[in-house]
């Protein structure tokens, strides 16, 4: 997801084209991270279903907290020192002294967001705060995955500089969704990281080199298909990019596993706990309680409680994470609420997600829509 600066008399707003790797790819990365787990990490395997479900948590957070958006990218090639020597000063405060806070923030904060998630995870594990540990590790997994998406590392994030306009979504989501069944790997060995800052910046620098390959794959696909869409285009682009795309995902899974393992070791290697979602979200200002089918009205009833006046965004999404319906987008007072969703004839049978999004909470429930 990349930025467009919109100026007004009062503010600068960052508007983003699209999310990082699509929801299915984020889910794949976190799911296959367990292939890198060693015997010491057996306790974390119980977290995987939660992490799969909340793999796109930071993308959902930005729906109600726009400032989250800058945590998902860093335009490395906006920095003169990166173009000169292939690296930048990893210290955020030092960069601000050199370039100014406005410039640094506009180029994205991905590495520092990743470090913050890692540090917060260490604190949560050390204090046996397992609910927050699960939330922070979901965020960490997402940021690590974004750091393995090359178009999150360049000013040419959407191919606008090289006649590849629109490549961002075509590559990271449209192509990946079509060929997800081709993404298979065995997992790399987990290792404890000695310097997390160097490790995170290191994989960003390494993954930047694939920006050109993505542009070349897009150009080739358009040449062969005569268009930037359709089966032939995506097949030819996949053929040109899969040799580095699949390894990118494998390394993302492993990098997350390595950071999780290192966080656990640095927290003292405690016995790993686990909390169910009801306990994790019980104390939040807005809590999703239940969803059920009303056969008389042929509709779903979604119940949630507001304990403190809050903005609430309530959406229905399909298994791919695509938005089906926005049910509510409003500030609500304290009280119990029930919202009705009546699927129209365009809604296919399958599994769906109801996503409740408020400033202090994102909660997801998965439910089936099928013939009675």
Contact criterion met (CB below 8 Å) for 142 and 26: yes
| pTM reported for the whole predicted model | 0.93
Per-domain boundaries in the chain: 3-266, 277-369
> One fold for both 3-266 and 277-369?
no
At the topology level of CATH, where does 3-266 sit?
P1 Nuclease (1.10.575)
Tokens 């969704």 map to which residue?
Answer: 177
CATH number of this structure's domain 277-369, picked from the four choices 3.40.50.360, 3.40.190.10, 3.40.605.10, 2.60.40.1930:
2.60.40.1930
**pLDDT value for 18:** 42
**Measured between alpha carbons, how far is residue 51 from residues 34, 141, 153, 224, 342 in Å?**
11, 8, 24, 39, 29
Helix (H, G, I), strand (E, B) or coil at 192: coil
**pLDDT value for 334:** 98
DSSP string, 266-306: HTT-PPP----HHHHHTTSSEEEEEEEEETTTTEEEEEEEE
d(CA 348, CA 350): 6
Question: Minimal CA–CA distance to 274: which of 2, 22, 51, 35?
Answer: 51
Helix (H, G, I), strand (E, B) or coil at 107: coil
Each of the 372 residues of the chain gets a pLDDT tens digit; together they read: 444 333 333 233 333 444 579 999 999 999 999 999 999 999 999 999 999 999 999 999 998 999 999 999 999 999 999 999 999 999 999 999 999 999 999 999 999 999 999 999 999 999 999 999 999 999 999 999 999 999 999 999 999 999 999 999 999 999 999 999 999 999 999 999 999 999 999 999 999 999 999 999 999 999 999 999 999 999 999 999 999 999 999 999 999 999 999 999 999 999 999 999 999 999 999 999 999 999 999 999 999 999 999 999 999 999 999 999 999 999 999 999 999 999 999 999 999 999 999 998 999 999 999 866
**pLDDT value for 372:** 61
**pLDDT value for 371:** 66
Tokens of residue 26, six digits: 């984020």
């Amino acid at each position: 997801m990349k930025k467009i600066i919109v100026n007004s008399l009062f503010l600068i707003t960052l508007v983003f084209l699209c999310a990082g790797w699509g929801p299915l790819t984020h889910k794949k990365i976190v799911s296959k991270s367990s292939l890198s787990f060693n015997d010491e990490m057996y306790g974390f395997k119980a977290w995987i279903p939660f992490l799969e479900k909340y793999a796109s948590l930071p993308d959902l957070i930005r729906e109600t907290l726009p400032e989250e958006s800058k945590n998902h990218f860093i335009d490395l090639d906006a920095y003169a020192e990166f173009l000169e020597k292939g690296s930048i000063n990893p210290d955020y405060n030092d960069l601000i002294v050199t370039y100014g806070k406005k410039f640094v923030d506009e180029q994205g904060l991905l590495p520092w967001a990743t470090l913050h998630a890692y540090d917060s995870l260490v604190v949560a594990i050390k204090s046996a705060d397992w609910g927050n540990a699960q939330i922070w590790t979901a965020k960490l997994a997402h940021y690590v995955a974004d750091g393995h998406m090359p178009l999150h590392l360049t000013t040419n994030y959407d191919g606008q500089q090289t006649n590849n306009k629109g490549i961002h979504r075509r590559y990271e989501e449209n192509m990946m969704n079509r060929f997800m069944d081709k993404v298979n790997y065995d997992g790399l060995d987990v290792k404890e990281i000695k310097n997390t800052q160097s490790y995170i910046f290191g994989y960003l620098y390494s993954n930047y080199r694939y920006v050109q390959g993505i542009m070349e794959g897009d150009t080739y696909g358009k040449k062969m298909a005569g268009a930037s869409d359709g089966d032939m285009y995506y097949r030819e682009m996949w053929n040109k990019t899969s040799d580095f795309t699949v390894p990118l995902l494998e390394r993302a899974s492993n990098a997350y596993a390595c950071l999780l393992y290192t966080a656990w070791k640095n927290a003292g290697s405690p016995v790993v706990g686990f909390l169910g979602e009801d306990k994790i979200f019980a104390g939040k200002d807005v809590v999703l309680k239940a969803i059920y089918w009303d056969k008389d009205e042929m509709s779903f009833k979604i119940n949630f409680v507001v304990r403190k006046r809050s903005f609430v965004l309530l959406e229905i999404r399909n298994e791919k994470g695509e938005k089906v319906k926005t049910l509510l987008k409003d500030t609500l007072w304290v009280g119990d609420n029930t919202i009705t969703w009546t699927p129209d004839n365009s809604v296919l049978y399958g599994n769906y997600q109801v996503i409740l999004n408020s400033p202090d909470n994102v909660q997801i429930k998965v439910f089936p829509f099928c013939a009675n």
